Amino acid sequence: MSITPPFVQERLDNGLTVLIEVMPHVSSAACGFLVRTGARDDPRELAGVSHFLEHMMFKGTAERTWEQVNVEFDEMGSYYNAYTSKDRTFYYGWVQTSDLDRQLDLLADMMRSTLPADQFDLEKNVVLEEIAMAKDDLASVAYDFLHERVYADSSLAWPVLGYEQTIREMTREKMGEYFARRYAPNNLILLVAGNVEPARVLATAERVCGGWPPVDELGPARQVPRLAAGTATRAADRFHQQAVLLAFPSVAATHELYETAEATAAILGGENSRFYWNIVQEGLATRAGVFHEEYQDFGLTVMFGLCEPQNCEKLLETMRTEATVLAAKGAEDKELRRVKNLRRTSLANESEAPFYRLGQLADDVDYHGRPRRAEDRLAAVDAVTADRIAAYLRDCPITDGGCLVSVGPRAWPG
C-alpha cells in the first residue's frame, strides 16, 4: 500500500489501479470506475460503441437484472450516473459512508455486464432517439460538425453518440468484443473519495474486482490528431439561427500553461467576459463564448456564437477583434482577478464534497498519472498571470486562421 496523505494508491495483481482520498471531515463517500475508453477509441465501423456500451452497463449482470440494478441504487439513496466523452467513460455513485461497500459491489458488478440480448435492441432504439434529438439541437450539430472538420483524419472526428448507420448495424457480438478488450482491469481506475478506511476499501476492491482477467492488447494506441484549418459550411434549413465556431490548437491538460489556457478562455468568453459584454449584450448573438477542450495529449480552443443569419459577418469580425485586442494589449488586472477568484471558489467548493472531488481525481490520475491535493490545484490557479497569458497566446495564437465552421439556414461563408 503506497500512502502520500491524504491519498492511498494501490494496483491489484490484475492491473486495476485503486486510488483513494481520505476525507475525514465528511459523512459521505463517492466511488467510481473510470474506463480509459471513449469515442476516439471507437473503430469507424463501430462509431458510438463506447456510448452505447455505457447504456448496456446498466442493463443486467450475471447477479442482477436491470430492475435490480436500479432498485439497489435507489435503496441506498445513491446519487449515481455515468457519462461517455471523447476519451473516457465514467460510472459513479455517491452515498452515505455506511453504504460504500454496497455501492462499490454494485458498480463492480455492472462493469461485468452480460450485455443482455433482450435489452440490446431496446437500448439501441434509445440511442437512435438520442441521435435524432441531437440533430434537432443547433449547438450539438455545430459541435459535431466542427469536430468532423478539425479532426478530419482522426477517430476524434465522429460524435460520441455515433451515427445512425453505425448504431443500426452494430451487433451485440461486435460490442462484446470491444467490451472484453477495453473494459479490462488494466484499462480501468477505481476512484474513491470520502470518509473511508483505505484498508477496508482495498479489501472490498480485491473481493469484487480481483478476479477480473487482464488483457495483453487493449487495441490501437491513440494518435495525436493533425488539426485541420480552413472553412466549412453545413446548410440546415430547419434552424432559424446560425452557429459560427472558430477553433485553434491549444495546450494539453498536462501542459504547464493549462490553467493559463483556461483563464484565457474565461476572460475572452466566460461569465461576464468580453464576449458577453461586446457580443451578447450588443445584440450580435443570443449566446457566445469560448471553451478550452483538453486531452492528455493535445488541446483545442473554440470560440462560438449563435446569431441571426444576417449577423454572421459581424459576429465573426467581433470575435476575431476581441481575440486580437487581448493578444495585443493583454489581460486587465480586474478581469484576471475575477476569473481567478471564480476558479478558486469553484475548486474550493468541489474539494469539500466527495462527489465533485471524484471528478477532480479522475482528471488528475487520467491526465497527470497522479492525484493532486486541493492546495496544489489552487496553487496552479495562483500562478496564472498576465505575462503567462501573453506567453500562452504567443505559443497558441488565436488571432488568424483557425478552423471556421458555420451551420444554419444561410450558406455562409460561401
Mean pLDDT of 66-95: 97
The three grid cell numbers given for residue 321, joined into one nine-digit string: 477583434
The Cα 117–Cα 19 span in angstroms is 34
- Choose one of 209, 242, 268: the last residue of a domain: 209
Q: Is 224 a member of any domain?
A: no
Residue 215 lies in a domain: no
Residues 72 and 122 reside in one and the same domain: yes
Q: Report whether the peptide linkage leading into residue 413 is cis, meaning its omega lies within 30 degrees of zero.
A: yes
pLDDT in tens, 43-67: 999 999 999 999 999 999 999 999 9
Question: Rounded to whole angstroms, how far apart are CA atoms 203 and 210?
Answer: 10
CB 412 within 8 A of CB 291: no
Residues 192 and 294 in one domain: no
For 256, which DSSP code? T
132 shares its domain with 236: no
Final residue in a domain of this structure, among 145, 178, 209: 209
Residue 63 counted as domain residue:
yes
Q: Is the pLDDT of residue 283 over 90?
A: yes
Write down which residue in 161, 176, 209 finishes a domain.
209
Q: Which domain holds residue 51?
A: 2-209
Domain presence at residue 217: no
Structural domain count of the chain: 2
Query: Could you tell me which residues come within 8 angstroms of residue 176 by beta carbon, excluding any fewer than 6 positions away?
Result: 115
Q: Do 286 and 183 fall into the same domain?
A: no
Burial class (CB in 10 A: 0-12, 13-18, 19+), 272: middle
Residues 194 and 308 reside in one and the same domain? no
Identify the CATH number of the domain in which residue 320 sits.
3.30.830.10
Handedness of CA 275, 258, 159, 398 (dihedral sign): positive
Whether 304 is covered by a domain: the verdict is yes
What is the dihedral angle through the alpha carbons of 265, 355, 104, 86, rounded to the nearest 10 degrees?
A: -10
- Confidence (pLDDT) at 346: 92
In a domain, 160, yes or no: yes
Residues 272 and 394 in one domain: yes
Question: Does the pLDDT value for residue 76 go beyond 80?
Answer: yes
Residues 185 and 39 in one domain: yes
The proportion of the chain whose per-residue pLDDT surpasses 70, expressed as a percent, equals 99
Residue 155 resides in a domain? yes
Considering only CA atoms, give the Rg of the chain. Answer: 22
Give first-to-last CA distance, the chain, whole Å. 62
3-state secondary structure of 167: helix
pLDDT in tens, 350-405: 889 999 999 999 999 999 888 999 899 999 999 999 999 999 999 999 999 999 99
Residue 222 maps to a domain = no
Average pLDDT of the chain to the nearest whole number: 96
Residues 105 and 171 in one domain: yes
Q: What distance in Å separates the CA atoms of residue 14 and residue 207, rounded to the nearest whole number?
A: 12
